[in-house]
A and B are shown apart, each in its own frame.
Chain A
Amino acid sequence: MIEIKDLHVSVEGKKILKGLNLTINAGEVHAIMGPNGAGKSTLSNVIAGRDGYEITGGSITYKGDDLLEMSPEERAWAGVFLAFQYPVEIPGVNNTYLLKAGVNAKRKHQGLEELDAFDFMKTVKEKAALVELDPSFLSRSVNEGFSGGEKKRNEIFQMAVLEPSLALLDETDSGLDIDALRIVAGGVNKLRSPDRAIVMITHYQRLLDYIEPDFVHVLADGVIQKTGDKSLALELEEHGYDWVKENK
């Protein structure tokens, strides 16, 4: 689905990613772990198309296309979704309107009819139930006044409605208490499917108890240092990131 080759990225002249390689196939769940400041959010932002990042080398191919040539909205239409580490508040923009506009823009791009308002609301309510998001959040402004945990839940709810092919979850688990974590993880598990890839960025092994990854990668010093299965996360927990660098 996505193939990242020798990716070099700088922010404000500082090299963050230094030749990163990563291939993700449909149906797979990947976890990316790594110390603070390693560049995990940088990687997910670059995939989603945020500007302010200088791509100094390498390539990203998504479903056969050059992803780096696409605008953020084109990426969204093609099925890329980023659940933000810090979802922004947008006063005055209704949560449901945002999703409807997003879904319909994608459909329009695919040459499909706009969704009927009634069907859309039905879907939205079902998906909100999936992450146990109170329906009152639907009519509120995007993330405005939401608690940290509610924002994260709202991100997964949006993912459920937008039905992406490639979902990047940037520290969706941080700021969630154990009950909320269980609910959100349950939602994500229901969204696992053979034609969808999910990438979880996390600090903590505990998320992986709920959503079992096929692969675990350790990102440090701008490259993937080590790849393994979920036992790698346990080893990391035990030995720390320095151990990874020493035992490549």
Chain B
Amino acid sequence: MSVLAQTQQDALNLFEKIGLPTQRDEDWKYTDASRLKDLLESKVSGASVDIHNLGITELDAYRMVFINGVFTANESNLPQGISIESLATFETSNDNNEKELAKLFQVSSSDPLMNGFAAYNAATAKDGAAVCLKDNSKLDKPLYILHVSNQSHVIRHGLMLGKHAEAEVIEHFISLGEDKALSNATTAIILKDGARLEHSRIQQEGKSQSHVARVEVKQLANSSYTFHGVELGGILSRTDLVVDLHEQGASCSLNGLFVLGGRQHVDHHTRIDHTAPHCTSREHYRTVLDGRSHGVFNGKVMVHEGAIKTDSNMSNGNILLSKNAEIDTKPELEIYNDDVKCAHGATIGQLDDKQLFYLRSRGISAEAAQELLTFAFADEVLVAMSNQTVRSYVEKAAFAKLPHSDDLEGLLSE
């Protein structure tokens, strides 16, 4: 049995042992996974679709397209000399870093936030992007991974950045049609010494689609990881984001934005482990909830015993636009040494009266002023995105989901 086959068998055993989470599990008390049971299994069929006008078309990037979890080579465009492949092809490689990628399939019941979906993902994933950057190499353009789906599927990406390597990776999830389906997507990442990764994940699937994701990042010395999680689509979406600041000087910055309406339910559980000294973590999540939507944010920072000089800051802001919308937010901090600088906080609120009055006193109608401040509130998270094409795509998509009167048209053309 190959290393990978063995690893997947172990993952399957784990899945069979732990099963899917239930609301009795503390980490799943707000999200009812039983709704997803019947959607778990992949129903892979090579849908033939014209995807040319889908996704962020204006983005100058390398592209990998996965349709229902299957790599679609003729829609993709990959750089030379850098190993970016479909996971399905890398296993036979002799390269050491690529061998290490196989380890990214390992799951263990002791991993933070481990659950049946993640185990099932590792056990059954057949495809995904395997990105391997050599030491000191830089991806000269972003890698844009577009996922198009209308059926349940499992996908597992592995990103390995060698020492001082740099890359930007954008994952985008969209649907064809409105079938009920589940995307089960994991991205496992290793950043070696001094590597830098900016990673966006834009979930914009169809109204009936569900999404369960896990992003796990292991950071070696002085590496830097920036995450932008944008939740716009789907009916139920859960992401577990697990970052291990494993060696000295590593830093991460996790940004999240939910713009929800209708009966959408989005849950992000994040877990940052400060394992080593002198690491920095920043986390900034914002949600704007309308209709009967439900947002869940649980951000846990664990500062371990030896992790002196930890610098950690977390903030979560929420605006409820409707009486029936709901947010459950819980920033959690566990600290096992004294030599740290940590702050965290969450706010749930309406808009600021002083700001509203200021705008109205300048001639902006009450309605437009509210909409403008709501948009500005959401946009503050996107400021951290360095890719302006991606940012403006997300801004437009978020703006379209927020209530906006005619007076506000033109805002995004500024």
Contact = CB atoms under 8 A, between A and B. Distances in A.
Interface of A: 48-52, 71-73, 75-77, 81-82, 84, 87-88, 90-94, 96-103, 105-106, 141-142, 158, 162
A93 B368 CA distance: 12
A88 B355 CA distance: 6
A98 B376 contact: no
Nearest to A75: B361
Nearest to A77: B363
Given A72-B357, A101-B368, A92 B414 contact: no
B407 A101 contact: yes
Contacts of A103: 363
B360 interface: yes
Given A88-B352, A100-B414, 6 more contacts: A73-B364, A92-B376, A92-B379, A100-B410, A102-B363, A105-B363
Interface string B393-414: 0000000000000011011001
Interface string B357-369: 1111111111011
B365 A93 contact: no
A102 B364 contact: yes
A98 B366 contact: no
Contact of B377 (A73, A92, A100): A92
B373 interface: yes
Q: Report whether over half of chain B's contact residues are helix, strand or loop; otherwise say mixed.
A: helix
A51 B369 CA distance: 15
Nearest to B408: A101
Nearest to A81: B361
A101 B364 contact: yes
A73 B375 contact: no
A158 B363 contact: no
B376 A93 contact: yes
A101 B366 CA distance: 12
17 contacts: A48-B361, A50-B361, A52-B353, A72-B357, A73-B365, A75-B361, A76-B363, A88-B358, A93-B376, A94-B414, A96-B414, A98-B362, A101-B362, A101-B410, A105-B363, A105-B365, A142-B358
Contacts of B358: 84, 87-88, 90, 142
Q: Closest 3 CB pairs between A and B?
A: A92-B376, A102-B363, A76-B363
Given A88-B354, A92-B375, A105 B366 contact: no
B272 interface: no
Contacts of A106: 363
A93 B379 CA distance: 9
B360 A73 contact: yes
B355 A90 contact: yes
A100 B409 CA distance: 12
A49 B357 CA distance: 8
Nearest to B358: A88
B408 to A, nearest CB: 8
A131 B414 CA distance: 23
A162 B364 CA distance: 12
A77 B364 CA distance: 9
B87 interface: no
Contacts of B365: 73, 105
A189 to B, nearest CB: 23
A96 B414 CA distance: 8
A168 to B, nearest CB: 10
A76 B380 contact: no
A90 B373 CA distance: 8
B376 A90 contact: yes
Contacts of A158: 362
B372 interface: yes
A102 B369 CA distance: 10
B373 A73 contact: no
B363 A162 contact: yes
Contacts of A87: 358
Interface in B258-317: none
Contacts of B355: 88, 90
A207 B366 CA distance: 34
